[in-house]
Structure formats: structure tokens, C-alpha cells
Amino acid sequence: MTAPQLTDPFAREISYLRVSVTDRCDFRCAYCMAEHMSFLPKKELLSLEELDRLCTQFVELGVRKLRITGGEPLVRRGIMGFFNAMGRHLESGALEELTLTTNGSQLRRHAADLFAAGVRRVNVSLDTLDEAKFAEITRWGRLAQVLDGIDAAQEAGLKIKINAVALKGFNDVEVHRMVEWCGARGFDLTFIEVMPMGEMDADRLDQYWPLDAVRAELATRWRLSESAHRTGGPARYMRVEETGGRIGFITPLTHNFCESCNRVRLTCTGQLYMCLGQDDDADLRAVLRANPTDNAALEAAIREAISRKPKGHDFDYSRREVRGEVSRHMSVTGG
């Protein structure tokens, strides 16, 4: 018998799991991490075998889309073994999609292997095409390496979506260039509002550029029409008539998307966050390690956690103050 679907208190079916496989990254993006991060000791991380067991349990409970995130997931040693293991759920038909969010730095090394494991599309975080600005926002980043990784992903047959965080005073002068570049390369482009997560050097209010304003700016040059395209995530898409490409908008602040939220997030330490914008979590690592062969206990812990999924987050930048801020960095839960 098939286990009943995971359903939260608001009758939303949970079919999408985002899994952070590491808190480490080879960049230090200013809106995601502090410049001098303290990373977790190895013993606190789930092993790849434990991640497999957890993800498999979620698939058996109705998760159909699995997105692997970090930190930067491709810096974790042995990660391709995990992708290959998850590929068996694609082959069985239990899992519909296995995807990846990456900064692109390691794609030249891994793109072909990702495709062989069953990955068909990747999201690449890229906020600017300006080399100096890229070095500034990532602190350690190398734009040429990322662009080469994107080329490698295309060569391997992976479909690419570019994710850009809209940052006032930083990349606001580049939005038209980004649309043009993505359109020419055949990439979808998604803009994301900066979220109040973790203590940062930069002022969130100074960075915040609402996507209503981004869309208005884009409309001064491009003809945008409504699109019914969906990827299972929170983005709402517009078609760019001049390029034939799509632009997505993820608006956790100006127009939250909580009413249709179908996802939960698992950290590399086994904490399950039922909402990106709330601090409530469930410790699945403790259950996993206390019950090495008892999947019933694991299923019960997952179901109990889903029963606490809130109606939505409380992110708010109105009245010139940051509200709904959560203490953990974006890199902990992978966005």
C-alpha cells in the first residue's frame, strides 16, 4: 500500500523537497553569507548515506521534486555518488524531477555527470555580468569560471535558468543587459527579492529593490506578456516578446506566494524547516540516528513536522524597517 500524501494543516500537499547538502561554499555572496563564516564540523553533517535515507523517505511519502542546494552543493566531496543514488527514483518513476541550484563554479567538472545521473535542468545564481561587480558581490568569485561552467552545462544538454537577486544600487542598471543576454542564450531568467535572513554587513533596506519596480523598469524596453509556465516553485513568469524567453519573479515581500506553498527544506544537519521565513524546525537527524533501521519512526517525525507547517512567512520591509527577520543565514537552508 502507498503511504498517504503529506498534507499540511492548510490542505497543501507537500511534493517538493529542497535539500542543502553542505553549508560550505567557494563564494561569500554578500546577501547570503557573512564574509568570515564559521562552518559546521563534519560530525554534525548528515552523511551522504543518511541524506539518501531521508530523501528516499520523503519520496515514498509523495515528494515528486527534489532540488539539491547548499551552500554550494558541488563542493561537497562525493556528491556525484548522491546524485547517482537519487537517480534510481527517477528511473522507478517515483521522482519526477531532480534539479540543482549552484553558483556555477564547479559545473565544468560535473555537468556531464549530472546529466548522466538524470538531472535535466539547473538554476545558476548570477547577479551580474560585470566582472568587477561579480567579484564585489561574491567576495571571492571568478566570473569567467562561472560563465565557463554555464557553457559546460549547455554542452552537456542541461537546461539553464539564471537566478538574480535584485539589489538596488548594485545590479539595477544591468537588468536590460541580463534579459538580452539570457534571451540570446536561451536561458530563463528569474529575479528574486532580497530576504531578511542572517546578520549581514550590508543594510537590507538599502539593498531592497521591490520586483514591482523591476518589472516596471523592464517594461520600458521589453514587451512582457503573461505566461502560464510553472516549474513547481514560487516564480511567476512573463514572456519577453522580443526574445521569446521567459522572466520569472519571486516576490516573498511584495506579493508573497505562501497560499500555494508545496515545499519544505532539509538542512545538511537534518533540520527540517517547514517555512523559509520561520525559525520553527524539526530535528530529523536525531530521529534518523536513534532509529537506524526504523523508518516508521522517521515517517512519524516527518508527518509531525508537516503538521506544524505555518500558513506563511512574516517578511516585511514596510515602514522603513526590517520585519520578520530570521537569524539563520540563507546558506543554511539553501534558499
**Ligand-binding site membership of 261 (annotated):** yes
**Ligand-binding site membership of 108 (annotated):** no
**Ligand-binding site membership of 264 (annotated):** yes
Candidates 324, 328, 307, 280; CA nearest to 20 is 328
**Ligand-binding site membership of 29 (annotated):** yes
224: Cβ contacts below 8 Å, ≥ 6 apart: 215, 218, 238, 239, 240, 241, 247
Residues 306/270, Cβ–Cβ less than 8 Å: no
**Ligand-binding site membership of 31 (annotated):** yes
**Ligand-binding site membership of 43 (annotated):** no
**Ligand-binding site membership of 161 (annotated):** yes
**Ligand-binding site membership of 67 (annotated):** yes
**Ligand-binding site membership of 258 (annotated):** yes
Q: Please list the residues that pair with 266 across neighbouring strands.
A: 19, 272
**Ligand-binding site membership of 125 (annotated):** yes
Task: Enumerate long-range contacts of 82-88, CB under 8 Å, 24 or more apart.
Answer: 82/21, 82/48, 82/51, 82/52, 83/113, 83/114, 83/117, 83/118, 83/119, 84/117, 85/48, 85/52, 86/52, 86/55, 86/117, 86/118, 87/117, 87/118
**Ligand-binding site membership of 194 (annotated):** no
**Ligand-binding site membership of 195 (annotated):** yes
**Ligand-binding site membership of 18 (annotated):** yes
The annotated binding site for S-adenosyl-L-methionine is made up of 31, 71, 125, 195
Annotated binding site for GTP: 18, 67, 101, 161, 263-265
Binding residues: 18, 25, 29, 31-32, 67, 71, 101, 125, 161, 195, 258, 261, 263-265, 275
> Known binding site for [4Fe-4S] cluster: residues?
25, 29, 32, 258, 261, 275
